[in-house]
Structure 1
Amino acid sequence: MSINKITPLDTFVSNDAPICYGILKPGDHYEGGIPVIKVKNIIGGVILEDDLLKTTPEIHAQYKRAEVKEGDILLTIRGTTGRVAIVPNSLNGANITQDTARIRVSSNDDSLYIFYALQSFNVQQQITLNTVGQAVKGINIAEVKKLKIYHPILDEQKAIAQILSTWDQAISATEKLLENSQQQKKALMQQLLTGKKRLLDEARSRFNISWEKHRLGIFLKEEKQRNKDNSISRVLSVTNHSGFILPENQFSKRIASDEVSNYKVVRQGQYGYNPSRINVGSFARLDQFENGLLSPMYVVFSIKSENLDSDFFLYWMKSNEAKQRINNSTQGSVRDSVGFDAISSFVLKLPEIQEQRKIAKVLSFADQEIETLQKKLNCLKQEKKALMQQLLTGKRRVKLGELK
């Protein structure tokens, strides 16, 4: 066998345990039986053990050849192809379905290296190119065995796996920090936007003026200006994940009508939403553009009162209380539509304007922390992706003497 060359996956595999798929029909769940790992259980490089089907010992015995042990690699080969995971000690003796391939790496090679190699762009591309079928797409075992993988010596395999594992640890740690920050922000919103927790004012004294109930309509004004003179050409839409966007950025082309004279004008600082999609969070304030156009079906409004802070209101509209009000407003509506009149009818307890601004400032700091962690996470993932492309193809070699 050639070393530091591209070789088939099969050359990495133990001779006494060839690559194979598992049980065709595992049957109904059999309590106390043998765990069966399905495609849906393999997510993000790990096996989710909370919802494993269990089959009878008799069915398992018929597919004893596919029994897995700690360190085996699983590759999904039917339905959703290309997912990869390593079998943990807790699943020793489990089995797999026909939609998954078991790969047992020989002692001459490193399992963790193959785990990363199978996730690389080059190998995933090979899997995609060899995936066939109509109703259920898949790649057969013969093609899995032929997958071409860079084959360095064992020490270099281990070194590459160590480097990529270090990146995974950094990614995992950052994901946990991000999740914690997101949970902390949710808790802050629940406390601050309901008055359960009061902040300190500029004089370092706690806000103590009682919150008062108001109908939102006294603070808001519906904006109905149309683009009659065609002076604005920027057509926007509102999504539940990115707020105001240019449709062509999401759909790769402009999908709006060329005739936009009847479109509604939305200006910076104003709010817009689709009445039929506000219940899924498609609501936003225009911040990134001076102005734009929205389809006539959209609602556009502004804040007309100095007694309602725009940032505070935006956070409130993302709160659980606002979501519940919106969901209640759609009950009995054929199209689950929430018009401006419905929004205006909401009654909420508001603090004085200074406390509103302080609350918004605290939540803004929380957003900044989340954004910083998200950027760090994205950078780590991109760096790992670039490293994989270099290390798992031999374009960049590891100096073994420098690793400990």
Structure 2
Amino acid sequence: MTHDTNIPQGYKATALGIIPQEWEVMRLGDIVSITSGESPSLYHLKAEGKYPYVKVEDLNNCEKYQESSREYSDDNNTTIKAGSIIFPKRGASILNNKVRIAAKDIQMDSNMMAITPHTAIVDTEFLYIRILHERLYRIADTSSIPQINNKHIIPYKIAVPPLAEQRKIAEVLGVWDEAIEKQARLIEKLALRKRALMQRLLSAKLRLPGFSSPWQKVNYSDILKEVRRTLTWDENELYDLISVRRRSGGVFHRESLYGHEIKTKTLRPALEGDFLISKMQIVHGASGVVPKQLSGMKISGSYIALIAKDPKELNISYFNLWSQMPLFYHQTFVSSYGVHIEKMTFDLDAFMSLSMNLPPIEEQNRIVEVISTATNEIELAKEKLERLRRQKRGLMQQLLTGKKRIKY
């Protein structure tokens, strides 16, 4: 018998690749029990009860452990035991890998499946991590609408370490999960603090030290003007196109197209500091300032570009903060017309006749600085969160393939 020098000592070749000698390749069907949910019509659903009745949309309300739902049941129908791993049977939710652990006994609808680990063989936390690593769409079929049922789950093979090593892997990755969750909560707190600070500063309920001058009520027509730049069209030029996200989500680079690929030849350049308003989406908060890195990119005719009439009276970055306030949202709504909110169109003249309370330029500048500091703090926290997630993914890849071993 020849020895394969490509296989490290203590490892073996399997259908899933090279894994540690102590690990086994097992079918999911041999290590879990599989249960499908049942139709809501079989239950008497209510606001409170013994069992949370879980639907696919309820999976959005938690990150890992499912213990609540919008509806409850006391019926003696199929009950999913606590510790079972639950997930959707079909559709886009499979691609989004919506996998949860039932934190308590639950009941669930027919769009859901549960696998209950045989805990003498496989640890619940380990299997949860394993399935997240494999991703549901690998287990599901590959039709246009992904689906999972028993025929996909039962034969699916995974590499299974000894139970003690499973628990140690889950414990180590759990430390990363805790750090990630803690960082995510910090970001939420920072965002709430920034929002509260904006509400107070932009309503003059809080004045920064050194400022006491009264604010002036000004019409938008007194401080803003529309700008329309021209563009020499070239069918062979590659145009970078920008759009504005809803809910004050900011300006972003949407796509790049050659002139001959664009049907409506009404593009215009937008420059740094332009305040863009989407005529069709402003009722959903689609407005924002063009940042430096997107300056010179193009907007379509469905956008309005505004600039400060006098930068010594209006800091456009201050106006951008003001555009995120509820009153501004209301003003853009009443300045739009149409029979349905998704088909309303913005009337710039109507908007320009409305007003805001504007602080002196020095106070505007200082408010922008304060909010910018809060924004930067959030961005740094988000960067740290992404680093933690990246590090966890790398470690998980090593641990779940056996390339990195943990003493147990």
TM class by shorter-chain length?
A: 0.7 to 0.9
The letter of the residue matching 2:42 is P
Trace 1:249-260 onto structure 2 (pairs within 5 A): 257-258=261-262
Q: CA RMSD in A?
A: 2.7
Mapped to 2, the partners of 1:367 and 1:340 lie a distance apart of 30
Per-residue CA deviation, residues 284-329 of structure 1 (Å, 9 max, x unaligned), is: 2222134122112321121121111122111111122211211222
Which residue in 2 is equivalent to 1:283?
287
Mapped to 1, the partners of 2:351 and 2:366 lie a distance apart of 24
TM normalised by structure 2 equals 0.82
Are positions 1:68 and 2:80 aligned together? yes
Mapped to 2, the partners of 1:41 and 1:229 lie a distance apart of 50
Q: How many residues align?
A: 373
Per-residue CA deviation, residues 55-114 of structure 1 (Å, 9 max, x unaligned), is: 533xx1xx3xxx3333222233244335322222xx33x333332123133223311101
Are positions 1:173 and 2:182 aligned together? yes
Per the alignment, do residues 350 and 117 of structure 1 end up closer, same or farther by CA in structure 2, a change over 3 Å counting?
A: same
Which residue in 2 is equivalent to 1:184?
193
Is the contact between residue 126 and residue 147 of structure 1 (CA under 8 Å) also seen in structure 2? no
What percent of counterpart residues are identical?
Answer: 26
Is the contact between residue 122 and residue 163 of structure 2 (CA under 8 Å) also seen in structure 1? yes
Displacement of 1:126: 2.1
Which residue in 2 is equivalent to 1:222?
226
Per the alignment, do residues 248 and 263 of structure 1 end up closer, same or farther by CA in structure 2, a change over 3 Å counting?
A: closer
Mapped to 2, the partners of 1:273 and 1:5 lie a distance apart of 59
Is the contact between residue 238 and residue 283 of structure 1 (CA under 8 Å) also seen in structure 2? no
Q: Which runs of 5+ in 2 are unaligned?
A: 1-20
Mapped to 1, the partners of 2:51 and 2:170 lie a distance apart of 31
Per the alignment, do residues 39 and 289 of structure 1 end up closer, same or farther by CA in structure 2, a change over 3 Å counting?
A: closer
Q: Which runs of 5+ in 1 are unaligned?
A: 202-206
- Larger strand proportion of the pair: 2
Which residue in 2 is equivalent to 1:358?
366
Mapped to 2, the partners of 1:69 and 1:112 lie a distance apart of 15
Within the candidate set 270, 277, 280, 2:274 is matched to 270
Is the contact between residue 245 and residue 252 of structure 2 (CA under 8 Å) also seen in structure 1? no
Within the candidate set 152, 155, 177, 1:146 is matched to 155
Per the alignment, do residues 362 and 49 of structure 1 end up closer, same or farther by CA in structure 2, a change over 3 Å counting?
A: same
Are positions 1:77 and 2:89 aligned together? yes
- Look up the SS of the partner of 1:392 in the other structure: helix
- Look up the SS of the partner of 1:109 in the other structure: coil
Which residue in 1 is equivalent to 2:213?
209
Which residue in 2 is equivalent to 1:204?
none
Are positions 1:112 and 2:119 aligned together? no
Per the alignment, do residues 179 and 21 of structure 1 end up closer, same or farther by CA in structure 2, a change over 3 Å counting?
A: same
Answer 1 or 2: higher relative contact order, Cα 8 Å, separation at least 6: 1
Is the contact between residue 82 and residue 102 of structure 2 (CA under 8 Å) also seen in structure 1? yes
Displacement of 1:50: 4.0
- Look up the SS of the partner of 1:318 in the other structure: coil
Which stretch of the first structure deviates more once superposed, 2-11 or 371-380? 2-11
- Look up the SS of the partner of 2:42 in the other structure: coil
The letter of the residue matching 1:126 is R
Which residue in 1 is equivalent to 2:385?
377
The letter of the residue matching 2:322 is W
Per-residue CA deviation, residues 216-255 of structure 1 (Å, 9 max, x unaligned), is: 1111121122103659853322221653333227xxx679
Which residue in 2 is equivalent to 1:27?
43
Is the contact between residue 250 and residue 287 of structure 2 (CA under 8 Å) also seen in structure 1? yes
Is the contact between residue 307 and residue 316 of structure 2 (CA under 8 Å) also seen in structure 1? no
